[in-house]
Each structure stands twice: as C-alpha cells, then as structure tokens.
Amino acid sequence: MPYAITETGWRSIEVDWPLTGGEICVDEIPQSLVDKIVKAEIVCQNLEVLLSKQQKANEVISPLQAGVDIDEISEEELSRWRSWKRYFIALSNTPTRAGWPSDPDWPVVPD
C-alpha cells in the first residue's frame, strides 16, 4: 500500500490519488519518520504532565504567596512556601535535564 508522507506524518493512499503540498509517495513509511512522530508524542505527553504538576504546585504556592506579599506568614508557612517554590523551579528545569523527554527526572514533591 502506498503512503503519502511529509516531514511530520503520513496517510495511506491509492495509486492514482493526488498528492498535496509537500507530500511524496513511498511504498514504506521510513523508520526515521516513525521515530520522529513517536518522540513528538512522548514530548507532548510529558509536557502535559509537567503542566499538570506546575498547576498543582501553583495551587499550593498561591495562598502562601499572598502571606509573603503582605508579610503576614508564619515561619512554618514560609518554609513550606520556599519548598514549593524550589519544587516549581525544579519542575521548570526538567526539560533541560538528562532524560527528557523519554525518561524525565521529575523532582520530588515537597511534604
């Protein structure tokens, strides 16, 4: 079965079907294209996990931040705020560390 491929994907076609812009016709999908798409899917999945973890961290940080902003926060809350801020920063750096995107080095969630 022939395929119309581009740099980012493919579709099955019949022999006489027209190609659209940027497509070429091949009999087999190149492994390099399959690998590229699999990697893009892994990146997308782990970016979703990253955003979810950052959102949860923000839910903890936000009320503590209000106390920091107006200097009405206990030492215990301040310590918790710092831990979660460090965690958020570590999360933000996850895509720059070894293992991204296939095996992210997720930081440990604070207590």
Token code pair at residue 49 = 């996990």
Residue ranges of domains in the chain: 3-96
pLDDT tens by residue, 13-52: 998 899 998 999 999 999 999 999 999 999 999 999 999 9
Instruction: State the chain's mean pLDDT as an integer.
Output: 95
- HSE toward the beta carbon, residue 40, CA cutoff 13 A: 9
Span 69-91, average pLDDT: 97
The pTM of this model reads 0.78
Q: Are 97 and 105 in contact (CB under 8 A)?
A: yes
CB 91: neighbour CB atoms within 10 A?
Answer: 20
